[in-house]
A and B are shown apart, each in its own frame.
Chain A
Amino acid sequence: MIKINRVYCNKVGYFSSYYMQATKHLKEQILLLKIRHGDAGAYAQVYDAYVDAIFRFISFRVPNQDIAQDLTADVFLKVWERLSSGEKIKVRNLRAYFYQVARNLITDHYRQDQPALFTEAEADSLEQVEDSTVANKLTLAEIETALKKLKPYQQEIIILAHIEGFSLKEISVIIGKSHGATRVDLHRALKELKQLLQ
């Protein structure tokens, strides 16, 4: 009986998650169509939905908050300009598209300036912690330091997979690699992070 219940729950879970994804995708497609027609109200909804995540993604990759804020604003402006330009830009996943643009802007940022030391950034980012315990702060600080010691590509892939919650398929779209290669890279990055933490 327990086994049957588990199978049933798994199926229910699968269907509910499928419907949630399908609903989310449809809502996104409607918003995308509106944005393409220059609907600022629709873009406001998108901004509210993604601004925190994009900021977080960027702030893990840049040395301080100011740069993260500037780059985040740039991402939203750039996406708006592109989508509302009337050009036929193929966007299958709006969320992934924002990360693609953010990723390109980060790359451009590092091409222009040399990366600064991360130690200050760590301290800055930890200032944002509002409700964590001291012990937890130390653990998270250690993890963040170790994360920033990884190669930029490895950082990205871990952030996207385990902090932002993207699926391997979505990550492969953002970083422009095959599904298999993304899976191997993620496994290696996680292994390396573990070694750094030990």
Chain B
Amino acid sequence: MKDKILIKELQSLREIKKPASVWRDKTRNTILSLAEQKPMIGWGVSDRVLVGWFDFRLKFAPVPAVAVVTMLLVMAFITLPLTPGFASSVPGDFAYPLKRLEEKIQLSLRQNSASQGIYYLKLADRRLSELKAIPIGSEDQVALLRDYNINLSFAEANYRAVANNNELAKVYDQVAKKLGENLNQIIVTNGSKQVYQVARELTDKISSDSLATLIVLHQQGQTSNQQVVQERLQEEIDKVEQKLATVQTKLGELSAPKRNTSKVVIESRRAVVPATEAGEEASKNLAEAKILLEQKEFSLALAKVKEGEVITLKTEEAISEEDVGQPDSVEGEVRGETQIIDEPTVAEPVTNDDTVDFTLPVDSGDIKVEVKE
């Protein structure tokens, strides 16, 4: 006989040995009547706590361990961002991968394009803060700039997915302005120059797109953004004027032959002109923009500002190309407030006081932004 068969037969013996039900009930009554004669002992606090604890465990016993672990992880992800050092962690820190994972989870929780777009802007701002915190010339600089660009690209795509929305445009405009200012404070090496250039272009694009939306919505009479639009356009004009002044100073420092050899393509006129003439053209555009602004022709004013900006940038580029061959240009290029250097140096710790607070909307109809100065 095999062991299995024998064990099975033994198990069936269980069924043949049963007490008579009459005896069982009679014994039960006898034992219980004896038991009831005994006085009950009072319950102490410790016993009550123990029974409560057993009851609690009993209620949660069927909950699978997986659910408990998931709940603990969710709680960890809720509390992690509140822990000091987590938000300020940079590449290479222990908490940094967790921070990125938390960002992905947060992003996946956002359902509509508006809130996703604003979260991408927030992520772009975080990457800039990290860029400020890491040493200049660090390998992570290019990676962070690329991440910044990716976040901005997604932010732009989400912005396009939402139809002209005044509140969203305001948020994008203010955040893009702040990002542009923060981007100017970044010191990059020549290796990161290209990526940095893309970052600037994307930031400017988001800024001008959102400003254009504000103007369009104002002109369509859907919103009363007049003061906001006027102020923003004035700021844009001031910004381009400042840039142009720097370019013209540089232009003045160049020798006469070099000044004449630098050529700039002006697409609106379909002409190639010397750098000096291009500078004058940009200046003329800005003057016209100011007049149009006074006349409350905001769209035309914006178009003139943008044209002036493009010509200024092209002039700056043309001068830089001329400048490369000069022996006194070894230190690199200074553009606006941004310094591009050849050799990496250790950066001073930057305290980012002008951080942007993002108030994310629940849906696209309720978008608010606060900017702390």
Contact = CB atoms under 8 A, between A and B. Distances in A.
Interface of A: 15, 19, 22-23, 26-27, 29-30, 33-34, 36-40, 43-44, 47-48, 51-52, 55-56, 59-60, 68-69, 72-73, 76-77, 80, 84, 86, 125-126, 128-132, 136, 139-140, 143-144, 147, 158, 162-165, 190, 193-194, 197-198
Contact of B19 (A27, A69, A162): A69
B19 A43 contact: no
A36 B27 CA distance: 21
Contacts of A86: 41
Contacts of A132: 15-16
A73 B54 contact: no
Interface in B35-71: 35-36, 38-43, 47, 50-51, 54-55, 57-58, 61-62, 64-65
Nearest to B36: A40
Q: Which residue, A130, A136, A163, has most C-beta atoms of chain B within 10 A?
A: A163
B75 interface: no
B30 A73 contact: yes
Interface stretch (B6-14, B97-105, B157-165, B216-224): B6-14
Q: Which of B15, B17, B30, B54 has the most CB of A within 10 A?
A: B17
Contact of B58 (A23, A131, A139, A165): A23
Interface of B: 1, 3, 6-7, 9-19, 23-24, 27-28, 30-32, 34-36, 38-43, 47, 50-51, 54-55, 57-58, 61-62, 64-65
A51 B27 contact: yes
14 contacts: A23-B58, A33-B50, A38-B39, A43-B31, A60-B13, A72-B27, A73-B31, A77-B31, A128-B17, A129-B15, A132-B15, A143-B13, A158-B10, A190-B3
Interface of B: prevailing SS: helix
Contacts of A163: 10-11, 13-14
A190 B62 CA distance: 37
A48 B65 CA distance: 32
A182 to B, nearest CB: 16
A94 to B, nearest CB: 13
A40 B35 contact: yes
A77 B1 CA distance: 41
B36 A143 contact: no
A33 B53 CA distance: 12
Given A26-B58, A38-B41, 13 more contacts: A23-B58, A38-B40, A44-B32, A47-B28, A52-B19, A56-B14, A56-B17, A76-B31, A80-B35, A125-B16, A158-B10, A162-B11, A194-B3
Contacts of B28: 44, 47-48, 51
B34 A194 contact: no
B340 to A, nearest CB: 56
B58 A69 contact: no
A34 B31 CA distance: 16
Nearest to A44: B32
Contact of A84 (B17, B27, B38): B38
Contacts of A40: 32, 35-36, 38
Contacts of A55: 17-19, 24
Contact of A72 (B13, B16, B19, B64): B19
A73 B6 contact: no
B47 A47 contact: no
A51 B10 contact: no
A33 B51 contact: yes
Given A39-B40, A163-B14, A139 B9 contact: yes
Contacts of B40: 37-39
Nearest to B17: A56
Contacts of B30: 73
A140 B12 contact: yes
Nearest to A68: B19
B19 A29 contact: no
A145 B28 CA distance: 31
Given A43-B32, A80-B31, A30 B19 contact: no
A86 B34 CA distance: 16
